[in-house]
A and B are shown apart, each in its own frame.
Chain A
Amino acid sequence: MRCRKCAHPAVIKMPRHNISLCKDCFTEFVHNQVRRAIKAHRMFTAEDRILVAVSGGKDSLTLWAILLKLGYRADALYVDLGIGDYSLRSRQKVQRFTDTVAAAYASNLHVHTVEQEQGAGIRELATLVHRPTCSTCGTVKRYQFNRVAIEQDYDAMATGHNLDDEAARLLGNVLHWQTDYLDKQTPSLPASLGGFAKKVKPLYRLTEREIAAYAVIHHIDYIVEECPMAKGSKLLAYKHALNRLEADSPGTKHTFYLTFLDRQAKQQETTGQIAQRDQERLHPCTTCGQPTSTDVCSYCQMRAKAKAHV
């Protein structure tokens, strides 16, 4: 199979674009998709400081690598969840990437260790507060990424969410008619009020397969195994279902999510309206000061419950 652009041997076929590409042309394709995403949603500029949320997985390390290659000022934050060997191995992958790739760009890694602050890893913490592990993990990660972005004065916080993540999440929200969540399912969420960092998803135009292919081609050493806590997750079931549809009808995920964004852009409120609504609804947490719709934010509530038990 030959590259559609230059006739060199192809390394990947992308049925959704009806194209096969060689290493160099595929790399250029990926970079262009990321540039397009950043520009279309005014995510950040070349002068901005960006904090990338890294887990050691393919998406976040690839995002960090691409932003550095494209000339952005990107540092990263790793949250060590304390999930036994899995966390040890993922932290090693992040550290290795920092030392071998990011250091050459004078890019920094911040690390937050859950066990150090909470006195327990994420699994034990979830048991103490009687919540599912993935939900507890989400609360801790969102809180810590936002905290570091605000405290260290970053202009935007970037996550490695890809087209499959967003299409699967959209499918889940539509299946359950969770329209409140639909409103905020956008690749760029503004810093709507003080205490909230701007959140962006520069990989939303790329599939998981394309991102993994980029990682393999560029020798990005990521943790291939899945988080042991994710077993049985609904999001994975939605991803498998969408991939079966994609196999029969290439472009299904792309059309599903990008058409949703087009319709959202036409119908939905502007960034200013999101900010206004957040200002009406949210206020500083009485414990930590981060924005919340209740007196004490969910992170501080969880922390208080855990402290009572530890």
Chain B
Amino acid sequence: MVHCKPASPGLMIRPAMKVIMTHPHKELEVPGPTRVHQLLQRLDLTPEAYLVIRGDELVTEDTVLRDSDSIEIRSVISGG
């Protein structure tokens, strides 16, 4: 079920999950529900280069992410 809250009379804003990306830092709002692999695909990110963390737990590519989730997409590539 999708929860909506009224923003102003007659206008409904659909809530979305908060997604934080690290280096470079970016904050996004993405509508759920969506699976982890779909989220990465939508953002054009290579799964091998990122971890997806919900709260402080790692999640696998088939996990369904919901609007109430706070998600971190962490780049794992380092080194110069």
Contacts and interface: CB of A to CB of B under 8 A. Distances in A.
B78 A226 contact: yes
Interface string B44-63: 00111111010011111111
B79 interface: yes
B76 A212 contact: yes
Interface residues of A, number: 37
A134 B58 contact: no
A236 B48 contact: no
Chain A interface, >50% SS class: helix
Contacts of A1: 60-63
B46 A244 contact: yes
A235 B79 contact: yes
Contacts of B56: 216, 219
A32 to B, nearest CB: 19
A227 B76 contact: no
A225 B46 contact: no
Given A213-B51, A226-B23, A246-B48, A233 B60 contact: no
Contact of B78 (A208, A243, A244, A246): A208
**Residue of A11, A165, A207 ringed by the most chain B CB atoms within 10 A:** A11
A274 interface: no
Contacts of B78: 57-59, 208, 226-227, 230
B80 interface: yes
Nearest to A242: B48
A217 interface: yes
Contacts of A217: 58
B58 A236 contact: no
Contact of B77 (A208, A216, A227, A247): A208
B79 to A, nearest CB: 6
A243 B46 contact: yes
B51 A212 contact: yes
Contacts of A184: none
Contacts of B22: 224-225
A41 to B, nearest CB: 21
Contact of A224 (B58, B62, B74): B74
Interface in B30-53: 46-51, 53
Contact of B61 (A13, A168, A213, A225): A13
B76 A247 contact: no
Nearest to A252: B48
A229 interface: yes
19 contacts: A1-B62, A13-B61, A20-B60, A58-B76, A164-B77, A209-B50, A209-B76, A213-B58, A216-B56, A226-B78, A226-B80, A230-B78, A230-B80, A233-B79, A233-B80, A236-B79, A240-B46, A240-B49, A243-B46
Interface of B: 22-23, 46-51, 53, 56-63, 74-80
Interface of A: 1, 10-13, 20, 57-59, 134, 164-165, 168, 207-209, 211-213, 216-217, 219, 224-227, 229-230, 233, 235-236, 239-240, 243-244, 246-247
